[in-house]
Structure 1
């Protein structure tokens, strides 16, 4: 394979950039550094970010990608984080907002802390929060061709209990506080679905943690939520288990579309 090393400003146009992009992808495939379903991203835009970061120097970009993949493998707890506190991004709503899904009903704090320390898990929470204004919203805005005003958040309480709430309330409260204080207005829409009968008690605590403006954005729904979600999210973008038509078979299911877990 011919090696290319050329500064970005020396490129005559997109033909040269596209040629380097093709070589970059081919070299990553050849070295077994990229695979279908990698949550680091395998699309052209993701690869172009690495190329731009190294001024379209092919060798430097491959080295950067390699180091990134090696770094990601140093976090073996990612799978456990997802297994015991499922959170992921899944496509966009009709206004181009990234859809963020958190399944609180599947949270298991005792099991989570068998695999990761509370301090390290907090690092994951902050990393996810920081990625929204830094990476996720800008990427969604570029895809939409206009500024996207935040995320579309779905909190799924199916199977949620008061016991789970007491286990996670401190970290949930801290996460809400960080989000409101340091990442303001990142959630444009906020739907709580599958709210159990015990949620009245839970909500009496949760609403004390939230700013009035945040509370105004929240809609609380029971099990009959599908029609509401479909008003805002195209069926092709909504997971089938929430009443849509998406199954993300190419990555093993919608839950693996962009989870906070290991890249392979």
Structure 2
């Protein structure tokens, strides 16, 4: 499973996507399908919010494509693991590996979910197999009565451990929700007291956007670079370098042959966790978790994924069974090729 995950990352150029992906349609998409991280919960976990009630499939795919939504999903997963989690861990002085998700179903019709099931199918697979074990708590708020029927089906797809993390709340949810998330951190649109300038949905408010958080992210990236470099040096029979030497050694060793990944496993995966500080180690925790894949989540329930009922993987199976005449089909493209943005002008 680990090698399969490594191969998937290569085929989809995940590292390149994390470094260079741009989503200029984000603001326009947010008006139709709000999905965003916003501050942290009582346990120090990043809070992920998704409001499904505004979703209009036809308008959404005039602005972007299912393919670009998947790329945005992968990018957010990578940012979640490489930036948000390390910052939250360092600030709390404890390992933070999961998120707290709020899925708002206000004004949602059941048909909205089934129409986007093809997209959810692919997103669920990504969440289950390549970013497992990232759901800490999951709140479904403003759940309509009809959702009880839908949930009875979805619940059967999930592991009991996962269902214990999911709480279904009606319209009087704020009291229960504020036990986990400070009311000052809950967006006013959801009944909280937070009113970020320009709107909470586009603010990306959280410790990762503070000066301290930015410093931590920079340190994480430096330590990751050092980890990979020292692994390469070990394969070449060279002594390891310290953080202060990494940049100066880069040019000196440029002419040396580059190391090859052994059996398809990356240097980061093979390197000893003793070679880099805790904050950098945390950023790799979930990437290495592919060796411990379980059926505990689906994409949406997973965390960074679209929370469209993220039944971490099992949702994919349901999408194949249910079927729909107006189901959105995913376009095919070359592996790793970044889909161009669609202008909404």
> Which interval holds the TM-score relative to the shorter structure?
0.5 to 0.7
Greater alpha carbon shift after TM alignment, 144-153 vs 95-104 = 144-153
Structure 1 unaligned residues grouped into runs of 5+? 1-67
The residue number in structure 1 matching 2:340 is: none
Are 1:258 and 2:211 matched, yes or no? no
Please, which of 101, 119, 141 is the counterpart of residue 193 of structure 1? 141
Are 1:97 and 2:45 matched, yes or no? yes
Distance in 2, matches of 1:209 and 1:131, equals 28
The residue number in structure 2 matching 1:16 is: none
Please, which of 177, 187, 195 is the counterpart of residue 239 of structure 1? 187
The residue number in structure 1 matching 2:23 is: 75
Distance in 1, matches of 2:157 and 2:126, equals 11
Q: Would you say how many aligned residue pairs link Structure 1 and Structure 2?
A: 189
Which structure carries more relative contact order (alpha carbon 8 Å, separation 6+)?
2
Distance in 1, matches of 2:164 and 2:155, equals 11
Residues 125 and 210 of structure 1, relative CA distance in 2, 3 Å threshold: farther
Correspondence list, 1:53-68, <5 A: none
Structure 1 length as normaliser, TM-score? 0.65
Distance in 2, matches of 1:114 and 1:106, equals 15
Shift of 1:233: 1.3
Please, which of 21, 31, 36 is the counterpart of residue 88 of structure 1? 36
SS in 2 for 1:153: strand
Correspondence list, 1:15-164, <5 A: 75-164=23-112
Are 1:180 and 2:149 matched, yes or no? no
Distance in 1, matches of 2:29 and 2:159, equals 28
SS in 2 for 1:100: strand
SS in 2 for 1:206: helix
SS in 2 for 1:231: coil
- Contact conserved, 1:173 with 1:209, CA < 8 A, in 2? no
Structure 2 length as normaliser, TM-score? 0.50
- Contact conserved, 1:151 with 1:187, CA < 8 A, in 2? yes
Residues 178 and 204 of structure 1, relative CA distance in 2, 3 Å threshold: farther
Residues 110 and 208 of structure 1, relative CA distance in 2, 3 Å threshold: farther
* Cα distance per residue 1:153-193 (max 9 Å; x no partner): 00000011012111122322432332222212211011100
Distance in 1, matches of 2:165 and 2:85, equals 18
Distance in 2, matches of 1:172 and 1:206, equals 13
- Contact conserved, 1:195 with 1:223, CA < 8 A, in 2? yes
- Contact conserved, 2:30 with 2:201, CA < 8 A, in 1? no
SS in 1 for 2:94: coil
Residues 205 and 175 of structure 1, relative CA distance in 2, 3 Å threshold: farther
Shift of 1:240: 2.3
